[in-house]
Amino acid sequence: MTDTATARRYSTGAMIFHWVIAVAVIVNWRIVENAEQLEGAARGAAMGNHKALGITILALTIGRLLWRWTHPVPPLPSDLARWEAILARTVHVIFYVLLIGLPLGGWTANSLAGREIDMFGLFTIPPLPLGTNEDAAKSIFGLHATGGSIFIYLIALHILGALKHTFFDKNGGIFRMLPFGKVPG
């Protein structure tokens, strides 16, 4: 890999954070979607996994942000239209807001419902010291679900953009976030 290609590609750490978080988010979405068809203990177990994975995503996102602040991010491809660059930056900011806000919102709602979060049987995270308020918990859970739906649509937009840039614009697109493939100079 040339220095020019390296400068246009994300760092290995950024790639690892990106793909681990991406897989975790998709798995967490599938867990909650499947939990909707379950009842009783099976639903509770699935939702327990959803909550624990959400907190894991929060921790990984904090790690990713720390990595991002200490490692240079490659510039966007120079052939992007202004609106594409603005859209790319906006979607990335919203991703970070959701990657932090959704787990915090879920933890807040669980706390207001008086529930702790079991981290895959390893340890528990206690409720935040907010007292209990079932109505507020229900409202926050509703916002959490809406935010999750918005996140899935933005992920689809992100994937379509990466594919467009890779196969139509041929400017490196997805290969900027992979350790292989051509990233034009």
pLDDT in tens, 19-46: 999 999 999 999 999 999 999 999 999 9
Q: Are residues 158 and 91 in contact, defined by beta-carbon separation less than 8 angstroms?
A: yes
CA atoms within 13 A on the CB side of 183: 24
Q: From CA 102, how far away is CA 33, in angstroms rounded? A: 16
Residue 173 confidence (pLDDT) above 90 = no
> Which of 62, 59, 92 has the alpha carbon at shortest distance from 74?
92
Mean pLDDT over 141-152 rounds to: 98
Q: Give the pLDDT score at 7.
A: 75
pTM over 0.85: yes
Residue 8 has pLDDT above 90, yes or no: no
CB 139 within 8 A of CB 112: no
∠ CA 100-145-150 to the nearest 5 degrees? 70
Within a 10 A sphere around the Cβ of 14, how many other Cβ atoms? 19
* Closest by CA position to 180, among listed 3, 4, 5: 5
Q: What is the per-residue pLDDT across 87-143, written as a single tens digit (0 to 9) for each?
A: 999 999 999 999 999 999 999 999 999 999 999 999 999 999 999 999 999 999 999
Mean pLDDT of 46-59: 98
Q: What is the pLDDT of residue 3?
A: 47
CB-based burial of residue 90 (10 Å sphere; 0-12 exposed, 13-18 middle, 19+ buried)?
exposed
Checking if the pLDDT of 48 tops 50, the result is yes
- Reading phi first (left if > 0) and then psi (alpha if -120 to 50, else beta), residue 113 is in alpha
Coil, strand, or helix at residue 79?
A: coil
